[in-house]
Amino acid sequence: MAIFVNENTKVLVQGLTGGQGRFHGLRNRDYGTQVVAGVTPGKAGQDVEGIPIYDSVDAAVIATGATASFIAVPPKAAPAAILEAARAGVSFIVCITEGVPAQDEARVFATLQRDFPKTRLLGPNCPGIISPGKCNIGITAGEIAALPTSTGPNVGIVSRSGTLTYQALYELKQRNIGVSTCVGIGGDPVPGTSFVDCLAEFQADPETHAIIMIGEIGGTAEEEAAEFIMTHVKKPMSAYIAGVTAPAGKKMGHAGAIVSGGKGTAQGKMDALRSAGVKIGLNPTEACELMAQIVAGF
């Protein structure tokens, strides 16, 4: 088991013929992911190192039975690409594109909610998802993720930041702790998948025994997660919130990472999580050390 993606997931890449799509799509395939198709309008019939290219997501799905899409197209094209995948019946969409306008994200989210309620979007502006040993969609370097063991305990990771996700994967690997699935939900204001969505899945996944959550300043997603954890998550958790020292009113790199009007502070988020029983580390290493202690207790 794993959440959202596993060894049976068939992936198509929208933008496989572009620089990013090609680089990461091929890396994902090298990792063992079933990358079955690429989509670039006007390039049907071509292939990228043996992966066939189709004109539309529809055509790719009909020909290959792909169930997931990896979107690596520029910000202008990303909203249409997401909706095209949803219309073609793709049930899991990973969009790594950085720089999608917030108004577009809000419209895409509302459209998915109304017209394609069964479609799950991860991102935009996210590193992707990896179920180690089974499936890797996105830009994570697969080799830094420890494989889960059949006996456990295995840890699920959910994070808003890319590099901090890698940091967590790497630290767990150094401590020989297996990872069931690692999900990067992205740092934008309207992420398709939230902390709560991932926590619910991890709670239900028998292969996941404990959960690490990495949040950051801005918005209220961590506070909502804390509320959900209190009532729904029985598995032990550790967490880290980036941006304790971030000044108010400045976007810290991510479009969503901003403290404004006294809201979205790291302190508020840590307090909320702490009162939900989550162990809080003051840096990523500490959060992973806390997880090592949790795992040692199994």
Partner 1 sequence: MDLFEYQGKQYFARHGIAVSAGGVAVSVEEALKQAELAQYPVVIKAQVQVGGRGKAGGIKLANNADEVRTHATNILGMDIKGHVVKRIWVEHASDIAEEYYASFTLDRSAKRHLLMLSAQGGVEIEQVAVTDPTAIVKLHVNPIEGLSLETARRAVVDAQISQKAVDGVAAMLVKLYECFTKGDCDLAEINPLILKPNGEVHALDAKVTLDDNAAFRHPEWDEYRATEELDEREKLAREKNLQYIGLDGTVGIIANGAGLAMSTLDVVNQVGGSAANFLDIGGGANAELMTAALEVINSDTKVKSIFINIFGGITRGDEVAKGIVEAMKRVKLRAPIVIRLDGTNAVEGREIIANAGIDESQLISRSTMLEAARVAVELAGKK
Binding site for partner 1 (CB under 8 A): 24, 27, 75-76, 99-104, 106-107, 109-111, 114, 139-141, 143-144, 159-167, 170, 187, 189-190, 214, 216-217, 219-221, 224, 240, 242-247, 250, 252-257, 261, 266, 282-285
Q: CA angle at residue 36 from 35 to 40, to 5 degrees?
A: 95
Question: What's the closest the beta carbon of residue 181 comes to partner 1, in angstroms?
Answer: 17
Output 61 or 144, the one with its CB closest to partner 1.
144
The nearer residue to partner 1, 105 or 201, going by C-beta atoms, is 105
How far is 35 from 231, CA to CA, in rounded Å?
38
Q: Which is nearer to partner 1, 28 or 64 (CB)?
A: 28
Q: What is the spatial distance between Cα 189 and Cα 105, in angstroms, rounded to a whole number?
A: 8
Q: Which of 215, 59, 50, 31 is nearest to 130 (CA)?
A: 31
Output the smallest distance, CB 261 to partner 1, in A.
Answer: 6
199: nearest Cα among 190, 191, 188, 208: 208
Instruction: Quote the CA–CA distance of 298 and 76 in Å, as a whole number.
Output: 48
Q: What is the DSSP string of 73-135?
A: --TTTHHHHHHHHHHTT-SEEEE--S---HHHHHHHHHHHHHH-TT-EEE-SS--EEEETTTE
- At closest approach, how far in Å is the CB of 147 from partner 1? 17
**60 vs 83 by CB, closer to partner 1:** 83
What is 208-235 written as a DSSP string?
--EEEEEEESSSSHHHHHHHHHHHH--S
Q: What whole-number distance in Å separates Cα of residue 60 and Cα of residue 204?
A: 32
Q: How far is the CB of 251 from partner 1 (least distance, A)?
A: 8
Task: Give min distance, CB of 123 to partner 1, in A.
Answer: 13
Judged by CB, which is closer to partner 1: 255, or 273?
A: 255
Catalytic site residue 209?
A: no
Are 78 and 95 within 8 A, CB to CB?
yes
Which is the catalytic residue, given 24, 209, 232, 254? 254
CB of 52 to partner 1, least distance (A): 25
Of 8, 9, 162, the C-alpha closest to 92 is: 9
Q: Which is nearer to partner 1, 61 or 168 (CB)?
A: 168
User: Hey, which residues are catalytic here?
Assistant: 254
